[in-house]
A and B are shown apart, each in its own frame.
Chain A
Amino acid sequence: MNTFVCIKRVPDTSEAEVKVDASGKDVDSSKFSFDINDADNYAVEEAILIKEKVGGTVKVVCMGPKDSDVMIRMALAKGGDSAIRIDDPRINVIDPLQVAKVLAATIKGQEFDLVLTGCMASDDGNMAVGVALAEELGIPHAAMVKKVELGEGKVKVHRELEGGLSEVVEMNLPAVLTIQTGINEPRYAPIKGIRMAQKKELKVLTLDDLGLSENDVNEAASLVELKNLYIPEVVSHAEIIEGEPEQKAEILAEKLVKGGLL
């Protein structure tokens, strides 16, 4: 089983203050910490579990700056065989369909049975790259996968739906699966392993290496345009509910029920 696993370096903004930068189209990320995207980490683990079970290779693909190498090396230390990082400022990373196009160009023509991605990137929340990638590659896909069972030339997966329900589907290989968090428990990459993984191949490619034209995947080529970013009025500042204790309780109950939270 030869697997490609696509990973992304993302900022952890859960506690960070997010400010829009001078361009109005990006945020000031100078105070952020970065890590592998959570769901991608599970995808890496799943790829390695598959390799450990049935053999084969795991190739890591990552689109991003040099700082992503840390996350790539960690994935290699866990059991990845080689990696490709696509680093080209001309790629419009805002558009998930263009990202998928670049990933497809990276994977196309190589031998593979499975492509795993995380089901969602925590920074943009598009949940689109994996499924778009499958379409670009012309192969079946399943999104939000919580369980993988390999068969002869096929794969059976459980897609996690709302409310604890799972949908079981079977697909012919090769296929793209977008992996949901919690499918496994990602292992730790010990530093000795990371150091040894320095010897594994990590190719850095540009659009030219992929045979893609800038005009396929740059901002001008996108069918959508990010006009501007702004901070919504209420962000992570608690709405303080006022009144007598019992009134507060009633107001909260109404907010929870009518706000669709319950």
Chain B
Amino acid sequence: MGNVFVIAEHRQGLLRDISLEMLTVASQVTQQNGGDVVAVLLGSGVDSLADKLAGYSDKVLYVDDPLFADFNAEKYQRVLVELIKQNNPELVMIGHTTQGVDIAPALAVEMKIPFVTDVIQIEFADGKLQPVRQYYQGKVNANFAFKGESPYLITLREATLEVPEPSKKGAIEKIDSPLKEDIEYRRFIEYVEAEVGDVDITQSEILVAVGRGIREEKNMPMIEELAKAINADICGSRAATDAGWLDHDRQVGTSGKTVKPKLYIAIGISGAFQHLAGMKGSKTIVAINKDPDAPIFSVADFAIIDDLFKVVPKLTEKLKELKG
């Protein structure tokens, strides 16, 4: 098959993980079916990123131009259209990230090319690429087929695989920007860091939640230590806030807050129906509880059925070790 284009993602001078993840998938695809992995880097003075990408690609197309000092979806689109037309890759990969979803759909519309979003893996059926995506928050998988002529466009889900050590040494080809002038209709202004202040658990990415299973307030430091080790905020069930272990604004459930963090670690929470309603939308749920019938396990992704007082300290210790 033809080449695979991977649109590298970077921000504030750093390469985003998705870039290497995409290159890894692209390598798997080309190993089976031929073609080169081509990383496409749009930036300004980011040579070190080009070098890093080269370790995972057969070629790096590097547009080094002050026009790309900051991300701008409209500019990316204009350039990518030109590069794709000139090079005619078989497959174009963009991250299914806040950056990627700002570009890919418009690019697909403009180029009138087949487009599948949020792909979790790429399979082959009858010698053809078959992207797999999900529906209903991961409850159903769907096999897709591209129709018509390549190039094909996908956005790839983040964090679906481990990135190996670099094994390639692609040539870095600096090319002139096909876009010569800045565009007027969309302007990058600045990056703004998140405000630091009182914790709003509805905005937390990682939550450690406690329930009555921790029994007494004097056990809270054990939880705080775990939360600190993984940069999590602490929340709790109604029982925990009622008991005064936590402020009421940290209560999760129908009478408290609804949270949807990336990771929710429920410790000693049985999972009353009212509590589950407030946290079931979390992306990944870990439950630690000694009751095998605790309803929390019905929504959990990982379950430890055991004495939390034995599990939690060890978990904290191991996490600290792994996270260095």
Query: Measured between alpha carbons, how far is A249 from B320 in the docked complex, in Å?
Result: 12
With A230-B141, A246-B310, A262-B206 as given contacts, are A97 and B109 in contact (CB-CB < 8 Å)? yes
**Which of B34-42, B94-102, B243-251 lies on the face that meets chain A?**
B94-102
Chain A residue at minimal CB-CB distance from B312? A249
* Interface membership of B222, Cβ < 8 A: no
Known A172-B185, A262-B230; judge A227-B310 contact (CB<8 A).
no
Which residue among B114, B136, B304 has the maximum number of chain A CB atoms within 10 Å of its CB?
Answer: B136
Contact B146 A227 (CB under 8 A): no
Residue from B110, B142, B186, B311 in contact with A249 in the complex, judged by beta carbons closer than 8 Å? B311
Which of chain A's residues 152-173 have a Cβ closer than 8 Å to chain B?
A: 156, 158-172
Residue pair B189, A261 in contact (C-beta under 8 Å): no
| Interface core residue of B158, B187, B321 (most chain A CB under 10 Å) | B187
- How distant is the Cα of A134 from the Cα of B299 in the complex, in angstroms? 37
| Contact present for B299 and A27 (CB under 8 Å) | no
Residues of A within 8 A of B304 (CB): 240-241, 248-249, 252
Bitwise interface map of A from 127 to 145 toward B, beta carbon under 8 Å scored 1, else 0: 1111110111000111110
CB pair A225–B145 under 8 Å, yes or no, is: yes
CB of A236 within 8 A of chain B? yes
A228 with B300: in contact, given A165-B192, A257-B322, A262-B206 (CB under 8 Å)? no
CA distance A84 to B272 in the complex (A): 41
Pairwise interchain contact B318-A253, C-beta atoms closer than 8 A: yes
Residue A167 contacts which of B103, B191, B318 (CB distance < 8 angstroms)? B191
B318 lies within 8 A of A168 (CB): no
User: How many angstroms between the C-alpha atoms of A136 and B303 in the bound complex?
Assistant: 46
CA distance A258 to B162 in the complex (A): 8
Q: Take A127-B118, A228-B143 as given contacts and tell me if A164 and B188 are in contact as well, using a CB distance cutoff of 8 Å.
A: no
Check if A167 sits within 8 Å of B144, measured CB to CB.
Answer: no
**Nearest CB in chain A: distance from B228 CB, A:** 13
A211 within 8 A of B: no
CB-defined contacts of B125 to chain A, threshold 8 Å = 227
Query: Does A206 belong to the interface (CB within 8 Å)?
Result: no
Contacts of A256 in B (CB 8 A): 230, 263, 286, 302, 319
Question: What are the residues of chain B within 8 A of A260 when measuring CB–CB?
Answer: 158-159
Secondary structure dominating the interface of A: mixed
Q: Is A97 a contact of B115 with CB atoms below 8 Å? A: yes
What count of chain B residues pass the 8 Å CB interface test? Answer: 95
A130 CA to B73 CA, complexed, in Å: 14
Q: Does A236 contact B194, Cβ atoms closer than 8 Å?
A: no
Task: Tell me, in angstroms, the Cα distance from A166 to B97 when the chains sit together.
Answer: 14
Of the listed stretches A13-21, A54-62, A194-202, name the one at the interface; the rest are far from the partner chain: A13-21
Distance A143 CA – B103 CA, assembled complex (angstroms): 9
Q: Flag whether B306 is at the interface (Cβ < 8 A).
A: yes
Bound: A60/B280 CA distance, A: 29
B117 beta carbon closer than 8 Å to chain A: yes
Question: B202 an interface residue at 8 Å Cβ cutoff?
Answer: yes
Residue of A nearest to B117 (CB): A126
A125 and B115 in contact, given A254-B322, A257-B319 (Cβ under 8 angstroms) = no
At the interface, yes or no: A123 with Cβ under 8 Å from chain B? Answer: yes
Q: How far apart are the CA atoms of A96 and B140 in the complex, in Å?
A: 18
A232 at the interface (CB under 8 A from B): yes
A132 with B305, Cβ < 8 A, contacts A15-B299, A96-B117, A169-B188 known:
no
Q: Is B130 an interface residue (CB 8 A)?
A: yes
- When the two chains form the complex, which single residue of A11, A160, A232, A259 contacts B141, counting CB atoms closer than 8 Å? A232
Q: A162-B97, A262-B323 are in contact. Are A125 and B147 (CB under 8 A)?
A: no
A55-113 CB contacts (< 8 Å) to partner B: 96-97, 100
Is B136 a contact of A261 with CB atoms below 8 Å?
no
Complex CA–CA separation, A256 to B203 (angstroms): 20
> Does B262 interact with chain A (Cβ within 8 Å)?
yes
Question: Is B68 part of the contact surface with A, judged by Cβ < 8 Å?
Answer: no
Q: How far, in angstroms, from A119 to B118 measured CA to CA in the complex? A: 14
Q: Which of A142, A169, A171, A223 contacts B146 (CB 8 A)?
A: A223
Which chain B residues lie closer than 8 Å to A128 at the CB level?
Answer: 101, 104-105, 108, 115, 117
Do residues A143 and B101 form an inter-chain contact, with CB atoms below 8 A?
yes
Assuming the A-B contacts A229-B140, A232-B138, A256-B319, are A246 and B314 also in contact, with contact meaning beta carbons closer than 8 angstroms in the complex?
yes
The 29 listed contacts between A and B (C-beta, < 8 Å) are A13-B136, A14-B280, A18-B136, A27-B135, A97-B108, A123-B135, A132-B106, A132-B109, A135-B105, A135-B106, A141-B73, A158-B192, A165-B11, A165-B193, A167-B71, A224-B114, A227-B142, A230-B143, A235-B138, A245-B306, A245-B310, A252-B302, A253-B319, A256-B230, A256-B302, A257-B322, A259-B159, A261-B263, A261-B284
5 smallest CB-CB distances across A and B, nearest first, come from A164-B194, A249-B314, A253-B318, A245-B310, A223-B114
10 A-B pairs besides A249-B310, A254-B322 with CB distance below 8 A are A97-B108, A131-B101, A159-B102, A166-B192, A225-B144, A226-B142, A230-B143, A245-B311, A248-B306, A256-B302
